[in-house]
Structures are given as structure tokens and as C-alpha cells.
Structure 1
Amino acid sequence: MPAFLSNPGNPRRRLRELLDHNRPLLAPGSHDALSARLVEQAGFDAVYMGGFATTASLLGRPDIGLLGESEMIDNARRIVQTVGLPVIADADTGYGNPLNVIRTVRDYEQAGVAAIHLEDQVSPKRCGHMSGKSVIPVEDMVAKLRAAVDARTDPDFVLIARTDALAVEGVDAAIERARRYAQAGADILWIEAPDTEQELEKIADELDGHTLLLNWLEGGRTPAIDIDRIRKMKFALVLFPIGSVLAMASALREHLAHVKAHGTPAGRLDQLPSFDDFTDTVGLCEIGALDQRYR
């Protein structure tokens, strides 16, 4: 059966199995359905849709809380419909109070994503590696997480709690918030934007026994540690959130500069996929098989 019609199984249960047995699970970022398809074709087991890359792709703007719930979920739904991988999606602050969080969780569940993360920033939020962040009281975030736990209808749907308190209140306060979020029912804990390896080690040591996420943001504030250090610190899930938009921007700039300088792209066609290669990448063979099947 063509992959376009195949049933990839239960991606949420698959994500939980991967988190239990394939640590660390690596989830490259995707900003759209095409980049998600490329993540899958590269052989990864999960894909991440983040707010930074989605905002850059849809609006050409920075991640400062400009996108709403519907726009984020629409993008997530397209990615889910394109790949068979578990999709981990950014749900920002939940887009409001606990009642809004209930709707957010249910809408993301219906879109088919395997996991979402909720963060404790004041709305409108901003990228976690930017300055000028503020966080809500811990009790308010606990209420949001309790609402999220109650709202999910699939027990395999993974809830990730992110705190941005490290930059505002320090690492000890961020760790204490993470503990409170685990008590509220979060499956995975994420302390955003540690500045040093010492902070990473402290987080890993003091939250040992919890399922931890590392946001390996390309060029961000967190040290660029290697996979062996990640494994030693027992991070279960690693996101590479903005590589797709950075790589796209770099390659497209180079391509456009060549066309501007030479008038046509003829001199660099050998650096691009052929037309046939690209149509294979986006599934033309699958579509052809379906066309024959239903002709």
C-alpha cells in the first residue's frame, strides 16, 4: 500500500516507547510539511514543530508571540498528515488561562500530534533564548498543567512542561518550578536556556529520575554539548528546533546571490536536487500508485 494511505500505528504510544528505550531521542525541528518529510527521510524517529521556525516560515518574523493557536495547529496538522513520525509541537503558553489550555490540548490532540509543550512565560511570549522574558506565578502554571492533564482524552498524549524561569529567577528556582510541574502531572520537564555546562549538570543531577528535555537550539545560549555528554546527563529528549529554517535561509541566500550575479541558476544546478529527485522526495511515486489504483 502506498505510504500516503498506510497506517503508521499509534505515534503517541510509539513516542512513549522511544522515550523509554531509545534515550536520548533526537527530534530535529521542521517549519513545514516539506522539512518534516526530509526529517523522516533522513531516518529520525521523531520530529519537532517549534514556534520560532513556524513564525519565521509563516510570517517572516521573529518568535515574539505573533502566532495564535489556530495558525500553530494548522501547521502541526499538515505535518502530521505528511509524516508517520511522532510529532512534538509547541503550544506556547496554552494561549490563555486554564480554560484556554483545555481547548488547546483538545485541538492539538485532534490534529494528531503526539506531544505538546506548555511554558510559563507571560503572554505574549518570546523565544526562550531571547532577553526580556517574564514568567507567571508558579501556581498559575500548575493550574494550567492540571487543566491540561484533565483535558487530554488519550493517556498516551505526552505533556511537556517548560519553564523559562532560569533567566528571570535563577537555576534553583527553575528546578523547583520543574518539580512542581512534575507533581502537577507533566510527563517531561524542560528548563529552558541554561547558560553553562555547570547549570546543565545541576539540572540533570537535581532532577535525576525525571524525564528531561534538552533544547539544543542552534546558536543559542545553551552550550553546544556533544551526544556523549547529553547521554551521560541522561536527557531523554533532545530538540534541534531551528536548524531547518537556518539551513533553508543559508542555502536560499547562496542560490539567490548566484542568480542575481549571473542572471540564471545554470552555474549551480549541480548543487540542487534534480527535478526528478525532488518529485520523488515529495512523493510523486506514491501519488502515481494511487492514481493507478483508483483509475
Structure 2
Amino acid sequence: MRREYFDNKIWKNDTTSVNMLRLRREPFFRFCQLFRDRKLLKDTIHLSIEQQVAMFLHTVGHNIRNRVICANFGRSGEVVSRYFQRVLHAIGELRDDLIRNPSLETQTKIEGNYRWDPYFKAHPEDEQYLKKPIIHYKEMMNIAGGSMVTGQYAKGSSDALATEVVDIEEETSKTHTAPHEAPHEEVEQSTNAGSYGPKPKKAKPNPCAEDRLHATILASSERIAITIEKSTNTEKNAIDGLWESMKVLPGFSLDYLAHYHAYLVDNPRVAMAFKVLEEDQKKVWVSRYVKNTFPEA
């Protein structure tokens, strides 16, 4: 019964074969013989190579689902799916024979033709950029990726502040509900309402946004400058005269005092506190530092 279906519905003549498989009988059987010679497919107890290829071509040629193939060829869904994958893999193994790589040479009938030739050589100076990776592509994706805000709410390097949007519909509704409206305005609105739909929202840029941004940046810069200046003055005051007051401390070598002086220079706040101490307290601080830094001393 299954063999009769192939003989009567598929291989009956070339017209039927083309309608069912998109191939005439002679190229179809040569195609199947190629699989047999290359040992890409083999006959099984369920299906011959011709039946496997016929089911595959009928599926892809007409975009038919597996359930339809099951009903037409009298096979289970598992068998249809399994042999479809086998034929698909076998065809993929013939890619070197069936698929020809594109040639970089211009064909003779196209070269010099005013309809085609100029389009193949447009912007030849840009050839150096073909197939070249984009530098800092990931960084640019983080800055302007698809997850960033777009449209009128976007913030870019030239638009630090978001554009203020005024809802035209809200303003219109407020105008319609305002008291003491003129009668002729109501008539004009009712006349135009049926002809046109609601107008889209329009963005009104704020002319003062850039000025506010400049003022904010200027104020922040001034505060930073004042802080840096104060910090510099504090460090300078802490270091001035520090070594003169340290080198006269008795009981310590100049090497230990130089080490502690370097520590105080790196820590201006500690140096300021050290300068206001009496001589005995200074000796305690130096002794503690020497003991912690040079335990073998």
C-alpha cells in the first residue's frame, strides 16, 4: 500500500513528480543514487533512500507539517522526523558540491555595462574599512545602546538636561474648561473638532536650561577650587617648621626622626596635631612610631 502511494502519487510521471517533489523523475533518482554512492544515506527496514528523499522534498517543497506527511505516507511522527533530520544532514554534507563560493571577478557581460558597472565600484576608497572591527564598540554600546532612553527624553553630550515637554492636550482641556469663554470660540472649536483628530504632543525646549547648567557647573567648579586651595594651605602650614622642631628632640637618632618626619608629611592632619604638642608629648609620639615601625630597635 505504501509502495503503491509512491508509484501512483509521486513517480507516476514527470508532471506528477514535479508537482509533488519539485523534481522530474530522472534527476530525482540520480539525486538519490548520489546519496547511495557517497554512503550518506542507506536503505532501512522502514524506508528506502528514495522514500526518505521523497518525504523530505515533499515537506520542504510545499512547506508541509509532519502530521500531513504522516497521513499521506502512512508513517508515524517519530519516523518522519527522524528521517527528515537524516536527509537534511546528508544534503549538508554535499555543500562543497552544491554551493559554489562567490567569485571576486566581475563577469564580462556586466563589466562595462552602464546599468551595473558603476554600482559595483562605488566608493572604492572605503574598501580599507571593510571587515574591520570597530574600536571601542562595547564602550559605545554602553553609552548609546538599545537600553538607553531615546527620543525627546534622551540625554546626550550636547543635551545635558532633558527637554521639557508641555502636554498640548492638557493645555487644551484647561482652555476648554475655563470660565467666561466667548460664544464664537465655542462654535469654532465644535466646527473644527469633526474635521481633524487630536494634535500630537509637541516638545517646547526650555531656553533657560543651558543657562542653569552653566551656572551649576560654575558654582561646583568654584567650590572645588576653594577646597583644593584650603587643602594646599593646610598641608603647607603643617609642613612649615616641622623638621626644625623635630631634630632637636633628645633621645632619638636622626634616622628615626627622618622616618617619622616623612610619615607626618604624608599625613598633614597628624602633622598639625604633632606641632601643637609639648616636647614630652612629642617624644611619646615619636617613641610609639619607632616601636611600631622598627620593633627590633
Bigger fraction of residues in helix = 2
TM bracket (short chain): under 0.3
TM-score (norm 1): 0.19
TM-score (norm 2): 0.19
| Larger RCO (CA within 8 A; separation ≥ 6) | 1
